[in-house]
A and B are shown apart, each in its own frame.
Chain A
Amino acid sequence: MAVPTTFNSSAAAFIGGVKSAWTSVFFLVLAGTYIGMGALAHDYGFASWWLALSSILVWAAPAQVILISSLGVGAPPIEAAIAVGLSAIRLFPMVVALLPLLRSPSTRLRDLLLPAHFTSVSMWVESLRLLPTLPRERRIAFCNGLSVGYQSTAVAFGFVGFYLAAGLPPLFAGTLLFLTPMSFLISTSRNARQMVDRLAFVLGLIIGPLLTYWHVGLDLMWTGVVGGSLAYAVHRLRKVVA
């Protein structure tokens, strides 16, 4: 897991990003997750190219699972669209927190279109960890390389899972599905170095399942707003006291 610090050109930074993606633990996590996704798409009667296109365009595992499992059983499209839209709310604060790290005074809006589209948990966690060590003018290229590395992994192993589908025992399929929460749990907590992020993480772990258990609507949005704001308030109070 090399952490490069300088690149001579944007092309070198892009390739450095791809390499970083393919040598990080997320390579294995995405490979396993998308083998599971491929099997799911196969079982619900979608084409392998449909799955590949959804990995490129949607690029968010929870949304893809919702899309496949709801459309696959013939749910009304509007219901599926609402469920996907609700699952994707997290992308909004993630993009807001990520883009200021990528931007320099000369950055144009269109340079940020791709990184915004590529934003997903794996890329976000790694970008927040690695980008601060890189020169600002190379960050966008590195981030795009990182994302292309992750997305190509997802697409390739989606095909693998699709054609393996019939031979996947349920216990093995279950352990593949466990890769996402297990790796997110560790990598997100590793990234949370400041008190405000650690507190937000712990509050999210507690509030999220409680709201689900109580059947509160928009549970994840409220988890974010309540948990994140509480953590932020404590952070501000400590600043005032100090």
Chain B
Amino acid sequence: MSTLLAELWPYLLLILVGYLPNEMWRVLGLVLARGLNEDSEIVVWSRAVATAIIAGVIAKLILFSAGALAGIPLGVRVIAALCGFLAFLAVRRSVFVGVAVGEAVLLLGGFLFAH
């Protein structure tokens, strides 16, 4: 019995600690979005809030990196992101080109300047 519980414990944690706290926001959005149409002011505002949060997440991931990315110097990460973005603007607004250039600059900079 106790071994069964020990085996199921990580899955129980996944539901209680991972799934539920994450999913509640989606369900809340589903409840609030009922009856709204895409031109309504709340929807325009929600899109602006979501866009600002995503932008905040992006900036945090680049400036305050965790894990293996933290081993690559801050300057390299910022310059790689800028190069990727400029490549996207320059080459037919291609997301693929932007991501590829950003990754290549990061790899090169990381190789040259890694801690």
Contact = CB atoms under 8 A, between A and B. Distances in A.
B40 to A, nearest CB: 7
A100 B33 contact: yes
Among B10, B25, B52, chain A packs the most CB atoms within 10 A around the CB of B52
A22 interface: no
A236 to B, nearest CB: 8
Given A100-B43, A228-B49, A67 B23 contact: no
Interface in A212-242: 212, 219-221, 223-229, 231-232, 235
A242 B90 CA distance: 33
Secondary structure dominating the interface of A: helix
Interface string A26-38: 0011000000100
A116 B52 contact: no
A4 interface: no
Secondary structure dominating the interface of B: helix
B95 interface: yes
A100 B38 contact: yes
B55 A174 contact: no
A93 interface: yes
Contacts of A89: 25, 53
Contacts of A203: 52, 55
Contacts of A97: 43, 46-47, 50
Contacts of A40: 67
Interface of B: 10-11, 13-30, 32-34, 36-38, 40, 42-72, 77, 80-81, 84-85, 88, 93, 95-96, 98-99, 102-103, 106-107, 110-111, 114
Given A28-B99, A197-B47, 20 more contacts: A58-B18, A60-B22, A65-B66, A81-B20, A84-B21, A85-B25, A90-B54, A90-B57, A91-B26, A99-B30, A99-B33, A116-B30, A171-B68, A173-B67, A175-B106, A178-B69, A178-B77, A197-B51, A208-B53, A231-B51
